[in-house]
Chain A
Amino acid sequence: MGKKNAKAGSLESSDLLVVIEEKEAGEKLEIVMNSIVEKQYGDRIIEIAHEIAALKGMDNVRILIQDRGALDYAIRARIETAIERYERGV
């Protein structure tokens, strides 16, 4: 059986694409991020991702974020939605 995964968002300007992938049993949470505003807001995006992952108890996944300059609320919404889809197995 393949690994679980889910995604939310898009690569449109001012949006982001979030992909969540299941990792091997026992592996830790991993956040991979790239952004067109990485220099200015990269730390902030990683911080939000960690915060939501902790809140939702996601610890055995890889969260891939491709950001195209989204605002914080969009980043939160996309990550939360991706996690929900992941958990429902959509």
Chain B
Amino acid sequence: MSKIRVSLRKAIIASGLKNGMTVSFHHHLRNGDFVINMVMSEIEDLGISDIRIAASSFFPIHGSLVRHIKTGTITAIDCNYMSGPLAEAVTNGMLQKPVMFRTHGGRPRAIMDGSLKIDVAFIASPSSDDMGNLNGASGPSSCGSLGYAMPDALMAGKVIAITDNLVAYPNGPVSIDETNVDHVVVVDSIGDPSGIVSGTTQVTRDPVGHVIARHAADVIEASGLLKDGISFQTGAGGASLATAHYLREKMVSGGIKGSFGMGGITAFFVDMLEDGLFEKLIDVQCFDLDAVRSIRENPNHIEVSASQYANPSAKSCSVESLDVVVLGATEIDTDFNVNVLTDSSGNIMGGSGGHSDTAQGAKLTIIVANLLRARLPIVVDRVTTKVTPGETVDVLVTERGIAVNPARVDLMKSLKEKGLPVVDIVELKEMAEKMAGKPRKVSFTDRVIGFVEYRNGEIIDKVYQPAKE
């Protein structure tokens, strides 16, 4: 029997979606995604309401969802990251129920253990055959890895693949296979390539970022982990990617060959794979065109599910084999707790993504950050929102010094022996406040707008609505 439905509307009807159900989406099309908006607007037109929308992440392009909150089509949101107008609307208290913020590993855990029950999963598919064998590596809207969609495909009641690139049966390679797909819908376009992947991710030219990055690479070297077989993950942002640049130099000059790079894969990591500095890449999401090409062509560039990437309830997952991760922060407190979810004024602007997963998994977790970001001290007494617990963070590297978690006595000793500028984290906070002045405390209402669910399912913090001034 054919799985092709003549329209998205017919597929939604065939899925049996009803009021009060949960729909899910993946975010590999990032800020170029057309699928979430297209599906939610169809759901609203069908008169279905009180929907929980569970996406791995939301971006500015999903601003039209604000309209569906106003009309009552959407009444609950689960995600691992949220930015743009939707985040603004949630910050302003538009959604009655608090948003459930998970991590990239916590989400598949919740899906697999049934605490996030998905009724209908909608899978944006850059390539599909008529039976729903899917991959993300080819087609006009190719995005590379489909890792975040895999748990949804496995566990959802019904699965609808939405593609703009129907290919002859059987499609291959297969990221998500036909045994899990109920319906296939062909549409004109699932995304805007310019928003899906960036061109080539550039290493920052900010000199302060380079000071931080050089120190971070020195910390990795001093930790003793810089040796054959090293595994490494970093974000694509400023100082994080620059750290990869300096680590690469150290690997080249020391003749060191790594086992794997993981991420969020960028061109920088593809180059390291192709230049023989890593044996493999483990890829749950591609950030740029080179990563998409590499995952398509290179068998050593391995696509993994969100579960294999970071699910703490899985029998094992990749973050547990990770040596070093370099991450950013919007705030870090004197107990090393990190906030990447709200800004210092309490506005929602992100989420954990894989932050807390990799921090817990890696042997060495380094936070890189400018001591001040637009005047605001990065080190605070207590983070506005606790996303990554301080006990999973080892080092904070700033341009004014390196603070080591006091629990890592061994690391503190080796950094000092190597002559690195180690300072107490409280000292960094005081330094920042001396330059910028002590920030006035932001006030909050007692209205909860979000829960922070740690990767193991524990609620470790609540997000409160900031007070209007």
Q: Measuring CB to CB, which residues of chain A are less than 8 angstroms from any residue of chain B?
A: 13-14, 36-41, 43-44, 68-72
Contact = CB atoms under 8 A, between A and B. Distances in A.
B357 to A, nearest CB: 30
17 contacts: A14-B375, A36-B374, A37-B374, A37-B376, A37-B439, A39-B469, A40-B344, A40-B375, A40-B376, A40-B439, A40-B442, A68-B374, A70-B375, A71-B375, A71-B435, A71-B436, A72-B437
Nearest to B373: A69
B374 A41 contact: no
B220 to A, nearest CB: 28
A38 B375 CA distance: 11
Given A14-B374, A40-B442, A68-B374, 6 more contacts: A13-B374, A36-B374, A37-B374, A39-B345, A41-B375, A41-B437
Interface residues of B, number: 14
A69 B442 CA distance: 16
Contacts of A44: 437
A41 B435 contact: no
Interface in B422-469: 435-437, 439-440, 442, 469
A39 B440 CA distance: 7
A88 to B, nearest CB: 30
Contacts of B437: 41, 44, 72
Contacts of A43: 440
A71 B436 CA distance: 6
B348 to A, nearest CB: 15
A69 B345 contact: no
A72 B375 CA distance: 9
Nearest to B441: A40
Which of A38, A39, A71 has the most B CB atoms < 10 Å from its CB? Answer: A39
B349 to A, nearest CB: 12
Q: Which 9 A-B pairs have the closest CB atoms?
A: A69-B374, A40-B439, A69-B375, A39-B442, A39-B345, A37-B375, A40-B440, A13-B374, A36-B374
A13 B345 CA distance: 17
Contacts of B372: 14, 71
B378 to A, nearest CB: 12
B338 to A, nearest CB: 19
A40 B435 contact: no
Contacts of B440: 39-41, 43
B295 to A, nearest CB: 34
Contacts of B436: 41, 71
Contacts of B376: 37, 40, 69
Nearest to A67: B375
B205 to A, nearest CB: 14
Contacts of A37: 344-345, 374-376, 439
Contacts of A72: 437
Contacts of B375: 14, 37, 40-41, 69-71
B11 to A, nearest CB: 44
A41 B440 CA distance: 7
A44 B440 CA distance: 10
A80 B306 CA distance: 55
Interface string B29-41: 0000000000000
Which of B344, B372, B436, B439 has the most A CB atoms < 10 Å from its CB? Answer: B436
Nearest to B374: A69
Contacts of A14: 372, 374-375
A76 to B, nearest CB: 13
B339 to A, nearest CB: 15
Which of B344, B435, B439, B440 has the most A CB atoms < 10 Å from its CB? Answer: B440
Contacts of B373: 69
Contacts of B435: 71
